[in-house]
Every structure is written in structure tokens, then in C-alpha cells.
């Protein structure tokens, strides 16, 4: 063996676990058909496709391929209130052998459930599993995350799908690889990364992070990621036409609410308003501008179908009292209650919704809603952004 052969053998290659696609929807676009064929052939793959590229259609088609090949069942895991979107997409494809289960009972070949209800199901009943909006796993506590990972490990055909992969979030890429049955997260860190603690290496691109990608391993790392994932922001990334996805410009309006309070965080009266610098001062400024910010938000959303994306519980409860047409989602609500509210909003029964991104910011198709109010915060001023 010469040196080049030795280096070639050090590469981490991944085998094929799938089969030739036996079902491609006629209504699928060309790039969607290419993704379906590649994913089914691979058998275990992450599909990182941007918003609006038809991931639901792709996932239903992959599930149908597995059902046709094995005659066994496929489980599709989704965030809250997303299940009905899969049912509707399947109907468009003429697929009726699909159902939504909340308690673990099922009679159809394709079964949809929420991540929070996975404990009702037995992994022995399924030959394939699809994780929709897999990035949501970062928002769950260790119990649910470990439950999902343990569940999928014994299932031969596995697929992850999300529109929000973070190229620099190596933790997400590592956990995705591990869930698919490829290199484990810790093995990935050992092979491609270097511990950055107590290091002043000049080549570090991520100062302050615990690990950084070894400069000489960057090309090999992304070549490895490319073996088990598809990353696409536009069809042209795969060599196809973008004309169907050229969207109008997103209009962002920033509305500033000035802090006029002259009382500082320690209760001392100042001659002029002060500049918030520390986290404690920022929290104080958030508190004293709370009412003005909420009043402005209600003014911006008046008469529109809109979503209030809040950060604080106090913002949520105050807007709920100020806007009688808005319905609030809180973390203390039951899964059933949250799901009912989200369904009503999607069906147009609720005019405006008050929620947090970590609870409902994944996978929901709200094309009927073209306006949102985001509560953001800068050091000097409270800022609201409306879209």
C-alpha cells in the first residue's frame, strides 16, 4: 500500500441501505423527483431543504416507497398541528392509507404522530421512520430527545427533514448523523474537531466555542456530511430551474419604542434616560417599556391576520388582554389544547395568534397569514419588527 492509498483508506465512507425508487408522484417537480430517488436509494438520509421546497410531498412519497417495498408500516413524527398537512398532501397524491394517531393505535400503513406522543408507540411495528422538522429536537429536554434517538436506532429506513439546518451548528449535524445510524456525535468530534478550551490557536475560526473544525479537515468533513444529506436552498443548487421559486421581496418595518423612564435599575432617578449595558439593565428596560411595546404591537396587527411572536410571558398575557381577537398559546397548556388552537388558526377560525418561536416555530404552513410582529430587543431601544 502506498501513501495515497493509505490516506484514501482513512476516509469515512458510508454504504447504501436503500433500494431503487418504486413510486414517484407525477405532480412532483423535477428537483423533488431527484431528491426522492436519491433518498430512497440511500435508505437513511437527512433532507435539508429550505422553506417552500415541498418537503411534505417528498416525505409522503418516501414513505409510500417504503410501504410498497416492504409491505410494512412507516411512522412520521411531526411537531404539533403539522399532522393534518401530511394528510392533505397525501390526498393530493391519491394516497388514503394514512392516519393521525394520538394514542398509539393505528390501522393504516402510514402513521403520523407528534414527537410528544412517541411514548405511545412500539418501534417493532415500523420498518421506516421519518422525522419532520428534525431541528425541533434541539428544543426538547433530554428525555424526549433520548426517547426519539432510542426509538429510531432499530428501524432500518430512517429519514430526517428540516428547513432550518445551521451549517455552523455542528451539534445538530452530529446528532443527525447519529440518529441516521452513521458516525456518532462524539466520534465526529474526535475525527474532525479540536477542543478549543484553553487554546489560543490562531487557526481557530470559532473563538469562544468549545470545539472548532480542524482547518485541514474542513473539506473532508463536508464531503462526509454530503454522503448522508441533501442541502438545498433553491432548485438551482441541484441543477434545476428556479423560476417557480422567485418570490417578491420580504418587507420588514422596524418600529422603535423609546424608553422614557428616568428611573434606573436600582430605583435611582436620573436626569436623563440611561443607556442599558448590563443584562440586568436590559431586563429592566424591557420591563419598563412592556406596555408601550405591546400597545404598538396591537396597533400594527389591527385588522390583519397576524402572529405575535413574543419572548416574555408578560408580553403574551398583556397582548392577550389588549387584543380581544387574539388567542394566546402558553407552555402550561396541554398538548391537545395547543393543537386545537393551532388548527383553528390554520383554518382561519382565529384572527391573530400569540406564541413563542420555540413552541410553534417549526413546520406549520400558514400561507393565509402574510403579517407578523416580532418582539426583538436592542440595547438602547425596544424594537418591534413587522413583516
Grid cell of 112 as nine digits: 403520523
Coil/strand/helix, residue 135? helix
Contact 112, 98 (CB under 8 A): yes
Q: For position 386, what pLDDT does the model report?
A: 58
Q: How many CB atoms lie within 10 A of CB 164?
A: 17
Residue 33 to residues 28, 54, 134, 252, Cα–Cα distance (Å): 6, 11, 21, 34
Q: How are beta strands 73-78 and 98-100 bridged, if at all? A: unpaired
Q: For position 358, what pLDDT does the model report?
A: 81
Which H or E element spans position 294?
helix 290-301
Contact 238, 226 (CB under 8 A): no
Q: Around 54, how many Cα atoms within 13 Å sit in the side-chain half-sphere?
A: 24
3-state secondary structure 176-233: HHHHHCCCCHHHHHHHHEEECCCCCCCCCCCCCCCEEECHHHHHHHHHHHHHHEEEEC
Grid cell of 72 as nine digits: 410494512
Residues of the chain with confidence (pLDDT) below 50: 202-204, 207-208, 378-383
Q: For position 264, what pLDDT does the model report?
A: 65
Q: For position 276, what pLDDT does the model report?
A: 62
CA torsion 78-139-326-56 (nearest 10°) is -30
Q: For position 385, what pLDDT does the model report?
A: 57
Grid cell of 312 as nine digits: 416574555
Q: How many CB atoms lie within 10 A of CB 201?
A: 10
Contact 365, 53 (CB under 8 A): no
DSSP state of 198: T
Residue 52 has φ and ψ, to the nearest 5°, of: 90, 0
CA torsion 317-319-322-328 (nearest 10°) is -70
* Total residue length of the chain: 387
Contact 230, 48 (CB under 8 A): yes
Q: For position 11, what pLDDT does the model report?
A: 56
pLDDT tens digit string along 349-383? 999 999 998 888 777 888 889 899 998 754 333 44
The pTM score is: 0.81
- The DSSP result for 225-251, as a single string, is HHHHEEEESSGGGGT---GGG-PPPPP
Amino acid at each position: 500500500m502506498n501513501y495515497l492509498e493509505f490516506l484514501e483508506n482513512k476516509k469515512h465512507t458510508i454504504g447504501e441501505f436503500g433500494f431503487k425508487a418504486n413510486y414517484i408522484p407525477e405532480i412532483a417537480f423535477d428537483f423533488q423527483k431527484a431528491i426522492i430517488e436519491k433518498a430512497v436509494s440511500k435508505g437513511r438520509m437527512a433532507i435539508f431543504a429550505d422553506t417552500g421546497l415541498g418537503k411534505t410531498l417528498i416525505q409522503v412519497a418516501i414513505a409510500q416507497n417504503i410501504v410498497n417495498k416492504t409491505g410494512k408500516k412507516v411512522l412520521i413524527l411531526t411537531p404539533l398541528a403539522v399532522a393534518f398537512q401530511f394528510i392533505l398532501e397525501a390526498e393530493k397524491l391519491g394516497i388514503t392509507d394514512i392516519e393521525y394517531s394520538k394514542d398509539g393505535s393505528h390501522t393504516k400503513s402510514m402513521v403520523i404522530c407528534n414527537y410528544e406522543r412517541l411514548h405511545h408507540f412500539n418501534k417493532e411495528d415500523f420498518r421506516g421512520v421519518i422525522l419532520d422538522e428534525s431541528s425541533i429536537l434541539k428544543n426538547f429536554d433530554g428525555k424526549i430527545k433520548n426517547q426519539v434517538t432510542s426509538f429510531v436506532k432499530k428501524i432500518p429506513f430512517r429519514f430526517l427533514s428540516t428547513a432550518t439546518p445551521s451549517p455552523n451548528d455542528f451539534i445538530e449535524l452530529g446528532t443527525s448523523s447519529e440518529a441516521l445510524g452513521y458516525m456518532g456525535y462524539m466520534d465526529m468530534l474526535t475525527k474532525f474537531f479540536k477542543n478549543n478550551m484553553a487554546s489560543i490557536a490562531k487557526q481557530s475560526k470559532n473563538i469562544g466555542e468549545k470545539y472548532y473544525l480542524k482547518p485541514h479537515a474542513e473539506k473532508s468533513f463536508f464531503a462526509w456530511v454530503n454522503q448522508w444529506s441533501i442541502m438545498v436552498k433553491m432548485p438551482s443548487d441541484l441543477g434545476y430551474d428556479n423560476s417557480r421559486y422567485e418570490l417578491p421581496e420580504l418587507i420588514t418595518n422596524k418600529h422603535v419604542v423609546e424608553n422614557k423612564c428616568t428611573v434606573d435599575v436600582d430605583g435611582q432617578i436620573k436626569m436623563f434616560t440611561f443607556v442599558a449595558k448590563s443584562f440586568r439593565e436590559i431586563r429592566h428596560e424591557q420591563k419598563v417599556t412592556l406596555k408601550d411595546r405591546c400597545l404598538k404591537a396591537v396597533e400594527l396587527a389591527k385588522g390583519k391576520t397576524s402572529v405575535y411572536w413574543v419572548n416574555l410571558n408578560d408580553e403574551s398575557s398583556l397582548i392577550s388582554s389588549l387584543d380581544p381577537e387574539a388567542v394566546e398559546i402558553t407552555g402550561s397548556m396541554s398538548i391537545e389544547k395547543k393543537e386545537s388552537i393551532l388548527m383553528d388558526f390554520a383554518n382561519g377560525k382565529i384572527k391573530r395568534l400569540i406564541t413563542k418561536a420555540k413552541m410553534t416555530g417549526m413546520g406549520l404552513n400558514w400561507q393565509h397569514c402574510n403579517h407578523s410582529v416580532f418582539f426583538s430587543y436592542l440595547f438602547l431601544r425596544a424594537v418591534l419588527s413587522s413583516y
